[in-house]
Amino acid sequence: MLSQKTIRQDLKNIRYYYSRKDTFDELSLCLGDNAILEKIENYRRAVRSAPPKLYDLYALLYLQNNTQYSLSQKLGYTIEHISRVNSQLIKFLQKNLDNKEDVKYD
């Protein structure tokens, strides 16, 4: 089982990828795909079976590059609520990620 620390680091890297997706797409033409794409697919498979609230939070925070603070402002929730739901998401991912994947890219 992946640690919550590892999942948090993976989510940071996924957020970074999506914040710079256009650049990564351009670079993949000459360098090939980055290893993060394998990790993204693993997380995508896991989050598909998440409850709607966790699924939505994953997309809003990590695919659309929102911070917990900016998301709390947009949705009208407290930052504490967003943080609690994010903790639920991390616990869900910890239970549902495919542990066979061990992509290293740091």
Q: Is residue 105 part of a domain?
A: no
| DSSP per residue, 47-89 | HTTS-HHHHHHHIIIIIS---HHHHHHHHT--HHHHHHHHHHH
| Cβ atoms of residues 94 and 1 within 8 Å | yes
Question: Taking every pair of C-alpha atoms in the chain, what is the biggest distance, in angstroms?
Answer: 44
Q: Is residue 104 part of a domain?
A: no
Owning domain of residue 63: 4-96
| Overall domain count for the chain | 1
**Minimum mean pLDDT range among 20-29, 70-79, 90-99:** 90-99
pTM: 0.88
pLDDT in tens, 1-60: 899 999 999 999 999 999 999 999 999 999 999 999 999 999 999 999 999 999 999 999
Q: Is residue 29 part of a domain?
A: yes
Residue 36 CA to residue 101 CA, distance in Å, equals 11
